[in-house]
């Protein structure tokens, strides 16, 4: 029976207010309920302490509160926490909490598996099974917010859509969840603190600014079509020239007040030569951007290797000399396969040789 009820979190605040008025309730009660749901992340109506018993009973007859469950939590020695999140249909996605001195970042998934087939990414081996809905995306943030407070006594500060999946191929739910993250009644995070990362789905990049104002990261990884076709195959559909055009469009829309993060995984002998660094600098010369170099994270079954420190330094220095703000991402969560590109849902199976510290359910 419970499953047939509508999930109350499918309603926007105005819809919830309308429902309350239809039921002969006061409009402001809807706002209170909304805050319980989105800011306090309550999972049942009985805990809504400022809502009368009769109103709670009325809500229970109409609605359910669907939610995900953190099935398994792994702590890495560097503080990173990886969650295996079980969805209502028992599918598993992963999300990661990454603490640094200044920030606590939630890296969240938007799809079960991924359809893109980037050949340096472990998630690609899962293929895409389904899209997440907006609640499932948002709930990963809720779980990580609670973990940040429990384990680090600090609030969650940033959200990156860099877990499993291609966010822009699950456009509407990703947009909806990002809107809620920004809402004052939920977390009120500013657009600077929410980053959508894409491997370059240009039609959706062009639409993004019409839907929600968030930061944009592009997983570029190669400055030529020849190489990018090979390592990021979606490039065959949306080649570099189109991708650059979409970056211009995004930046133009914000009248030069924004910059894009360019992600570039450094793979030994594949895309890490000095010559490619020079080509990359040329390609990006008219794009307001910050370049984030990511040393390749190895995973079982991949023949790629991380670039040598010398190559990484040379690559980085070329870009810095050309005037780009260039950062090197410190690998986090390696010990629990929670680093970029290592999310494969292997927690559904046995986790050999990994240190499991706790299980936790947020249900
Ligand atoms: N599909 C989206 C978001 C998921 S990937 C995108 O492509 O942007 C998040 C980031 O991790 C991307 O930049 C991705 O290219 C990078 N990544 C994937 N596999 C990696 C690996 N093995 N080592 C390092 N970074 C990786």
Ligand 1 near 113 CB (within 6 A): no
What is the predicted pLDDT for the residue at 335? Answer: 60
Q: What are phi and psi of 347, to 5 degrees?
A: -65, -15
How many whole angstroms separate alpha carbon 244 and alpha carbon 356? Answer: 43
Structure tokens at 346: 């292997």
pLDDT at 210 over 60: yes
- The alpha carbon of 161 and the centre of ligand 1 are apart by a number of angstroms equal to 10
Q: What number is the average pLDDT over the span 230-239?
A: 97
Helix (H) or strand (E) holding 325: strand 325-328
How many whole angstroms separate alpha carbon 54 and alpha carbon 67? Answer: 24
285 secondary structure, DSSP code: T
Those residues whose C-beta lies under 8 Å from the C-beta of residue 139, and which sit 6 or more positions away, are 67, 68, 85, 362
- pLDDT: which is higher, 257 or 345: 257
Lowest mean pLDDT among 243-257, 300-314, 331-345: 331-345
pLDDT at 356 over 80: no
- pLDDT: which is higher, 360 or 190: 190
pLDDT at 185 over 80: no
Ligand 1 near 263 CB (within 6 A): yes
Label residue 354 by pLDDT band (50, 70, 90).
very low
What is the predicted pLDDT for the residue at 66? Answer: 80
How many whole angstroms separate alpha carbon 244 and alpha carbon 126? Answer: 29
Chain centroid to CA 165: how far? 9
Ligand 1 near 199 CB (within 6 A): yes
Tally of CA atoms within 13 A in the half-sphere of 323 that contains its CB: 6
Q: What number is the average pLDDT over the span 170-175?
A: 96
Ligand 1 near 55 CB (within 6 A): no
* Cβ atoms of residues 143 and 106 within 8 Å: no
- The alpha carbon of 118 and the centre of ligand 1 are apart by a number of angstroms equal to 8
How many CB atoms are closer than 10 A to CB 305?
12
Q: Indicate which residue's Cα is closest to atom 9 of ligand 1.
A: 162
- The alpha carbon of 309 and the centre of ligand 1 are apart by a number of angstroms equal to 20
Tens digit of pLDDT for each residue in 23-59? 999 999 999 999 999 888 888 999 999 999 999 999 9
Q: Indicate which residue's Cα is closest to atom 7 of ligand 1.
A: 199
What is the predicted pLDDT for the residue at 300? Answer: 84
How many whole angstroms separate alpha carbon 15 and alpha carbon 28? Answer: 13
- pLDDT: which is higher, 342 or 83: 83
Average pLDDT, the chain: 88
User: What would the DSSP string read from start to end of 163-222?
Assistant: SSS-GGGSHHHHHHHHHHHH-TTTT---GGGEEEEES--HHHHHHHHHH---EEEEE---
Q: Are strands 104-107 and 69-75 parallel, antiparallel or unpaired?
A: unpaired
What is the predicted pLDDT for the residue at 41? Answer: 82
pLDDT at 145 over 80: yes
How many whole angstroms separate alpha carbon 37 and alpha carbon 103? Answer: 25
Of 257, 317, 319, 265, nearest in space to 288 by CA: 257
pLDDT at 149 over 80: yes
What is the predicted pLDDT for the residue at 122? Answer: 85
What is the predicted pLDDT for the residue at 349? Answer: 34
What is the predicted pLDDT for the residue at 340? Answer: 60
Question: What three-state secondary structure class fits 289?
Answer: strand
What is the predicted pLDDT for the residue at 359? Answer: 31
How many whole angstroms separate alpha carbon 148 and alpha carbon 152? Answer: 5
Structure tokens at 120: 């340096």
pLDDT at 199 over 90: yes
Q: Indicate which residue's Cα is closest to atom 11 of ligand 1.
A: 340
- pLDDT: which is higher, 126 or 90: 90
User: What would the DSSP string read from start to end of 82-132?
Assistant: EEEEE-TTS-EEEEEEEE-SS-EEEE--SEES-SS--TT-GGGGG---EEP
What is the predicted pLDDT for the residue at 208? Answer: 97
Q: Which residue has the tokens 């079954």?
A: 301
Q: What are phi and psi of 228, to 5 degrees?
A: -70, -35
Q: What number is the average pLDDT over the span 270-277?
A: 98
Label residue 345 by pLDDT band (50, 70, 90).
low
Of 55, 6, 64, nearest in space to 30 by CA: 55
What is the predicted pLDDT for the residue at 338? Answer: 63
Regarding pTM above 0.85, the answer is yes
Ligand 1 near 219 CB (within 6 A): yes
Q: Indicate which residue's Cα is closest to atom 20 of ligand 1.
A: 341
Label residue 360 by pLDDT band (50, 70, 90).
very low
CA 362, 127, 203, 260 dihedral sign is: positive
Q: What number is the average pLDDT over the span 172-178?
A: 95
């Amino acid at each position: 029976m419970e499953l047939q009820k509508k999930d109350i979190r499918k309603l926007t605040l105005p819809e919830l207010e309308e429902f309350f008025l239809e039921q002969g309730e006061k409009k402001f009660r809807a706002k209170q309920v909304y805050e319980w749901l989105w800011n306090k992340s309550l999972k049942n109506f009985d805990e809504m302490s400022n809502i009368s018993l009769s109103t709670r009973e009325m809500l229970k007859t109409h609605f359910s509160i669907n939610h995900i469950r953190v099935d398994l939590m792994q702590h890495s020695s560097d503080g990173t926490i990886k969650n295996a999140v079980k969805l209502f249909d028992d599918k598993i996605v992963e999300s990661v909490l990454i603490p640094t001195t200044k920030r606590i970042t939630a890296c969240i998934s938007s799809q079960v598996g991924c359809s893109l087939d980037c050949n340096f990414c472990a998630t690609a081996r899962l293929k895409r099974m389904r899209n997440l809905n907006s609640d499932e995306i948002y709930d990963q943030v809720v779980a990580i917010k609670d973990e940040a407070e429990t384990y680090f006594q600090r609030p969650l500060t940033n959200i990156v859509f860099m877990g499993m999946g291609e966010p822009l191929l699950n456009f509407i739910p990703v947009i909806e969840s990002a809107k809620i993250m920004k809402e004052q009644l939920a977390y009120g995070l500013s657009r600077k603190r929410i980053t959508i990362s894409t491997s370059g789905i240009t039609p959706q990049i062009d639409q993004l600014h019409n839907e929600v104002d968030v930061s944009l990261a592009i997983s570029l990884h190669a400055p030529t079509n020849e190489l990018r076709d090979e390592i990021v195959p979606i490039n065959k559909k949306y080649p570099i020239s189109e991708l650059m055009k979409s970056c211009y469009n995004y930046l133009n829309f914000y009248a030069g007040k924004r910059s894009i993060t360019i992600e570039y995984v450094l793979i030994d002998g594949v895309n890490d030569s000095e010559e490619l660094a020079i080509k990359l600098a040329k390609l990006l010369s008219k794009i307001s951007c910050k370049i984030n170099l990511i040393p390749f994270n190895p995973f079982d079954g991949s023949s790629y290797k991380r670039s040598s420190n010398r190559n990484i330094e040379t690559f980085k220095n070329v870009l810095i000399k050309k005037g780009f703000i260039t950062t090197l991402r410190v690998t986090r969560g390696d010990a629990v396969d929670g680093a970029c590109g290592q999310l494969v849902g292997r927690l559904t199976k046995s986790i050999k040789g990994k240190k499991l510290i706790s299980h936790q359910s947020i249900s």
